[in-house]
Amino acid sequence: MDPLFKVREAFGKGLLPEAAHAAVASRFPLVVSGIDRIERASGLQYPVAYVEPSAVVSAPDPSSMARGILFARTVPLVLGGDVRVVVQVSAPLVAYGLKGTIHAVLAHEFLHFLELVHRASRMGMLSDEVTGSVFESAHADRGRLFEPGAVFRDRTLVSHVTKRFPAGFRDARLERKTIDLWIGGGLPRTAVQLDSNTARLPAGAISRMRLGDGLAERLAGMAEKSLRMQGRRAGAPG
């Protein structure tokens, strides 16, 4: 899969201006280096990723306190009866994000991917909870992901993730550029409803998920380490 196929397609159709297309294409190596870094730091393969040529927002007005911009999403799909997981990266993240931010977002989505595969391997996921706001989604998100330090052997990468995801994503510079330059400039935008943010996978498809040799055991070990780290943090004096 060409990760920039949809970007090139949007440019060819006149939906994406030349300047935006050039910005995404010229900065895409930051995504590639981020994926390579995550694979080295975890010893695991990153799922298929592609760039969505639009700003993905939770509602028509992304500046609303209850709404927000989604810079990347981990999407489980059922294709031919099998489960496939892809990471959708938004074009504004690539065009405007600093290197540390791009790598942090990619790493965060990788934690989503690992958590999904871990739960599926235990037949624990038939549907995710439905949430109605960015705050609620962030709260649920934080409560179920692996700790970055339990997955990545790269302290700088762990720091990037924890600083930018204290309780939901925080990067005022990137958010402002996306609102002012991308959305304000009339570039493509996709609206999604968070109250329909439910991932339902058939049990049969889950049972047919192909896991690499020893992956389930490695994920179980990461989950145990993550729980220990969360327990130590919860027991630390405030």
In a domain, 151, yes or no: yes
pLDDT for the residue 58? 81
In a domain, 63, yes or no: yes
Residue 161's domain spans which residues? Answer: 5-220
Report how many helices (DSSP H) and strands (DSSP E) the chain contains, helices first: 10, 6
pLDDT for the residue 6? 97
Distance between CA 128 and CA 198 in Å, rounded?
5
In a domain, 235, yes or no: no
In a domain, 232, yes or no: no
In a domain, 190, yes or no: yes
Q: What is the pLDDT along the chain (238 residues), one digit of tens a residue?
A: 799 999 999 999 999 999 999 999 999 999 999 999 999 999 999 999 999 999 998 865 444 444 588 999 888 776 666 667 899 999 999 999 999 999 999 999 999 888 888 877 776 444 454 444 443 444 345 555 789 999 999 999 999 998 888 767 878 999 999 999 999 999 999 988 765 445 555 555 555 555 666 787 888 888 889 888 888 766 666 4
Q: How many domains is the chain partitioned into structurally?
A: 1
In a domain, 204, yes or no: yes
* Tokens describing residue 96: 């405007």
CB atoms within 10 A of CB 173: 11
In a domain, 236, yes or no: no
